[in-house]
Amino acid sequence: MKQYWLMKSEPDEASVDDFLAAPKATIPWTGVRNYQARNFMRDRMRVDDGVLFYHSSCAEPGIVGIARVASTPYPDPTQFDPKSPYFDEASKPESPRWMLVDVQVLQKTRNLTLAEMRSVPGLADMLVLKKGNRLSITPVEPRHWRLVTQLLGA
């Protein structure tokens, strides 16, 4: 069964435009260092699951694209690179701690801002809008996916 996700990226690090400029508009989703977000990628994401691409830590946070999960999970190579800000000395190639999936952007959209999402009653219980939620990856209910894509005209 197809699932849906919201994945946050800081545009200074990996923007929707960076993905669109990449071969096949696909980039590995590196740098996740939260166990719950890692577990979503490792245990629950499947190829072709839907992704709401969200820009965070910027002037206007919000959903800026529609994407899909484009690979099965595999070890995040940045955990083994001492020059990477995501290096994890405790993680070993024979037992990697951090996983990733490739994400392919299908469509850049207008920015559906956090403020606009908060103003839509049908999105009130969407996880990204819950107080205290700081996860970079959250599941999205099918009804929220339908409403967001309708708001975006996607």
> What's this model's pTM, rounded to 2 decimal places?
0.95
* Per-residue model confidence (pLDDT) at position 154: 78
* Per-residue model confidence (pLDDT) at position 135: 87
Q: List residues bridging with 21 in a β-sheet.
A: none
* CA–CA dist 119, 124 (Å, integer): 8
The gap from C-alpha 81 to its chain's centroid, in whole angstroms, comes to 22
Per-residue pLDDT tens listing for the chain (154 residues): 799 999 999 999 999 999 999 999 999 999 999 999 999 999 999 999 999 999 999 999 999 999 999 999 999 999 999 999 999 999 999 999 999 999 999 999 999 999 999 999 999 999 999 988 888 999 999 999 999 999 998 7
Which residue type, as a one-letter code, is found at position 149?
T
Find all residues with CB under 8 Å of 53, minimum gap 6, and list them. 7, 9, 16, 19, 63, 64, 65, 66, 67, 103, 105
Q: Which domains does the chain have, with CATH numbers?
A: 4-152 (3.10.590.10)
What three-state secondary structure class fits 92?
A: strand
